[in-house]
Amino acid sequence: MKHSKKRKWKARKKQNEQTNQQLTNKKGLPKMLLHVFCILLAMLVQVTSQVASRPNYVLFLADDLGIGDVGCYGNDTLRTPAIDHLAAEGVLLTQHIAAASVCTPSRAAFLTGRYPIRYGMTSTTRLRLFLFAASSGGLPLGEITFAKLLKNHGYATGMIGKWHLGMNCEKANDHCYHPLNHGFDYFYGIPLNNLRDCHIGKGSVFTAGSKQNINNAAPYALGLFFTLLATWLCGVLPIHSRKLLLPTLTLCALLGLLMLFFSQFRNWNCILMENNEIIQQPINFENLTQRIVYQAIRFIERNNDGPFLLYVPFAHVHTAHFAANAFRGSSKHGVYGDSVHELDWAVGEIVNALDRLHLSQNTLVYFSSDQGGHLEEMSPTGAVFGGNNGIYKGGKGMGGFEGGIRVPAILRWPEMLPASRKVDSATSNMDIFSTILTLAGIPLPQDRIIDGKDIFPLLQGETNESQHEFLFHYCSSYLNAVRWSPPNSKSLWKVIYFSPIFQPAGSNACHDTHLCHCFGDFVEQHEPPLVFDLIQDPEECHPLESKDFLTQQRVLDAVSKAVEKHQQSLFPVPSQLSVNNILWKPWLQMCCGALPYCTCDQDKTPPWEGRVL
């Protein structure tokens, strides 16, 4: 019975009202006492009904998975049966928009329900995400994640996977930005990111920006150059000359540190933690997905009397790609496809565990990706390594184009949501915040603007109207584009203020810099801004021409008013992604085992024994 629960709720509410009425009608007891009794009873009924009905949440987030990579979104060569199955039993969103097109800000927006610009998870430089485990920025502690609110209201909250929202503030073990400080009571996963540099022989994210053919040689050349330079400076320079002694020594020390840093990059940045403890350094990607699945299922089993929140942000399908033996060579799309297959398997295993434990009826499952596929990702041999964004233009890192922000998204809750429903109206990844808190009966924070909306009525089919008349698409700190879904209308407009300049010219991405940048000479400003009719032209190929002058003006007017209002709601805050905050700080370096090697392996997750494939 799909709507039995809803009916139960309504019945309960009615019963509740009736009891109250009967009680107030009774004469004889002192009025005061009666009042207190009524209030207590009403509170009790409310609390018990809430406890009985509070759903569990399992939220899956893939990394860099494109909307065109998933079977139920039209891919016919990659196999994603588990994700497709969720869509068959639930609601598929065709216009689910990530609040940012790179990991760090997109995840921050997801967890807080707010645009990253509101709390400094944006920058004005080329660096838009954390690159080192020993950076000092992070998701500000004043921000409230849904995990924190759910935990405060009695939920068990677990996070298993990739965090990427900062770690330490002042000391290597203060863990101020740690998931456990942001509302999770269990954490198993990667504090930073899955980087090429974490895998031996898979190249470097630092040299990926340079031309492909020097990709492999660059680290060695760089190392050789610095070694020669250091030897020359330290040996040849007349350091007996007093004036030069200090600067020479400083330079040598700095170069030495730099060399040490790059030689130890993998050890220092590729870390696996369980709660506050480092359990593997450097992280071993062998069977990592199987370990994530194991820990996720263990968390569900431990908390099956609920309610619980389980957040599973996979390391897949970010480069460097990896997959367990059973998946290697399983796809037609190289190691990228293999990792999509493994991701789908992992989703299936965890959803099966919900079914096995009879939890599916009371669990809302969400599957999405933090942003679109990374078009600049190429293997050293030039094979496509990034995801597919379907018909949409652009990809990860490009603030406004659909390809980077329109992500796959599916929600399943058999008891409360229709099966096989498709929603085409605009939704945001920030909406999950407001939706799951509202469903749990938890009031949204009143002391700040929450940008996410409760989309449950939209999911249930009570409305088809978008809850967002306007959505703002940022490229880091810069407002790049705005989409407008006018109320009571089927139209959908998008205004683009600037576009990235693709390089090499004529390509469809920023291959020379590995990620498009959002400012200065890296972009072309549009004056007047481009206006696209996203219903007619979802590919963003044909901006309205001057013959559509009136429509163009109408859209630009409406959007500029909305932008003005939006900008009035923003206040200056310190940037968590400033160069200073991103820089590697030796005193924040987390390390297990002896410096400088920092190696250990005490992950006790047993080997996967379940069914594979």
Ligand X SMILES: *[C@@H]1O[C@H](CO)[C@@H](O)[C@H](O)[C@H]1NC(C)=O
Which amino acids are annotated catalytic?
103, 164
User: 332 φ, ψ to 5°?
Assistant: -90, 5
Among 56, 75, 136, 181, binds ligand X (CB under 6 A): 75
When asked if residue 62 is in the footprint of ligand X (CB under 6 A), the reply is no
Copy the structure tokens of residue 8.
Answer: 């139960």
Q: Does 77 bind ligand X (CB under 6 A)?
A: yes
Which of 339, 363 has the CB closer to ligand X? 339
Cα–Cα distance measured from residue 386 to residue 204, given in angstroms and rounded to the nearest whole number: 15
Contact residue for ligand X among 69, 274, 342, 540 (CB under 6 A): 69
Alpha-helical runs (H) found in 141-212: 146-152
Q: Give CA–CA dist 455/465, Å, rounded.
A: 10
From the CB of 174, what's the least distance to ligand X, in Å?
Answer: 40
Q: Which is nearer to ligand X, 410 or 455 (CB)?
A: 410
CB of 377 to ligand X, least distance (A): 11
What's the token pair of residue 349?
């295993």
CB of 298 to ligand X, least distance (A): 32
Contacts of 10 (CB under 8 A, 6+ apart): none
Would you count residue 78 as binding ligand X (CB under 6 A)? yes
Shortest Å distance, C-beta 411 to ligand X: 23
Q: Is 508 in the site for ligand X (CB under 6 A)?
A: no
Tell me the per-residue interface mask from 319 to 338 with ligand X, x by CB under 6 A, - otherwise. Answer: --------------x---x-
- Distance of closest approach, residue 495 Cβ to ligand X, in angstroms: 28
Interacting span for ligand X (CB under 6 A) from 67-75, 308-316, 561-569, 575-583 = 67-75
Among 388, 467, 477, 605, binds ligand X (CB under 6 A): 388
Give the β-pairing of 523-533 and 272-274: unpaired
Output the smallest distance, CB 337 to ligand X, in A: 6
We find the least distance from the C-beta atom of residue 333 to ligand X, in angstroms, to be 4
Residues 143-162 that bind ligand X (CB under 6 A): none
Listed in sequence order, the residues at least 6 apart from 324 whose beta carbon sits closer than 8 Å to its beta carbon are 286, 287, 289, 290, 342, 608, 612
Per CB under 6 A, the segment of 38-46, 68-76, 181-189, 442-450 that binds ligand X is 68-76
Residue closer to ligand X, measured from CB, 377 or 540 = 377
Taking CB under 6 A as the rule, which mask of x and - marks residues 335-354 in contact with ligand X?
--x-----------------
Nearer to ligand X, 38 or 384 (CB): 384
Q: 113 or 390: whose CB is closer to ligand X? A: 390
Q: Within 525-544, which residues bind ligand X (CB under 6 A)? A: none
The minimum distance between CB 341 and ligand X, in angstroms, equals: 11
Q: From CA 312, how far away is CA 292, in angstroms rounded?
A: 8
Q: Which amino acid is at 292?
A: I
The verdict on whether omega for the bond into residue 500 sits within 30 degrees of 0, i.e. cis, is no
Pairing verdict, β 478-484 and 470-475: antiparallel
Taking contact as CB under 6 A, which single stretch among the options 72-80, 99-107, 110-118, 530-538 is the one that binds ligand X? Answer: 72-80
Handedness of CA 315, 316, 321, 325 (dihedral sign): positive
Among 22, 76, 142, 487, binds ligand X (CB under 6 A): 76
Q: Which is nearer to ligand X, 87 or 364 (CB)?
A: 87
Give CA–CA dist 608/325, Å, rounded.
12
69 or 342: CB nearest ligand X? 69
Query: 502-529 burial, b for 16+ CB within 10 Å, e for fewer?
Result: beeeeeebbbebbbbbbeeebbeeeeeb
Place of tokens 């079977």: 71
Handedness of CA 88, 90, 96, 102 (dihedral sign): negative
Q: How many residues make contact with ligand X (CB under 6 A)?
A: 11
The residue number with the shortest CB distance to ligand X is 388
Spatial separation of the C-alpha atoms in residues 338 and 488, rounded to whole Å: 44
Nearer to ligand X, 335 or 459 (CB): 335
Contact between 437 and 145 (Cβ < 8 Å): no
**Least distance to ligand X, CB of residue 280, Å:** 30
Q: Which is nearer to ligand X, 105 or 387 (CB)?
A: 387
CA distance 62 to 317: 7
- Can residue 303 be called a binding residue for ligand X (CB under 6 A)? no
For ligand X, give the closer residue by CB, 72 or 283.
72
What are the distances in angstroms from CA 295 to CA 177, 488, 536? 22, 46, 45
Nearest 5°: CA angle at 163, between 210 and 393? Answer: 50
- Judging by beta carbons within 10 Å of its beta carbon (0-12, 13-18, 19+), is residue 33 exposed, middle or buried? exposed
Applying CB under 6 A, does 91 fall inside the site for ligand X? Answer: no
Binding span for ligand X by CB under 6 A among 33-41, 71-79, 543-551, 566-574? 71-79
For residue 506, the 8-state DSSP code is: T
Asked if 387 interacts with ligand X (CB under 6 A), we say yes
* Span from 70-78, 217-225, 439-447, 565-573 in contact with ligand X (CB under 6 A): 70-78
Among 55, 63, 67, 68, binds ligand X (CB under 6 A): 68
Burial (0-12, 13-18, 19+ Cβ within 10 Å), 121: buried
Q: How far is the CB of 82 from ligand X (least distance, A)?
A: 16
- Interface positions with ligand X (CB under 6 A): 68-69, 74-78, 333, 337, 387-388
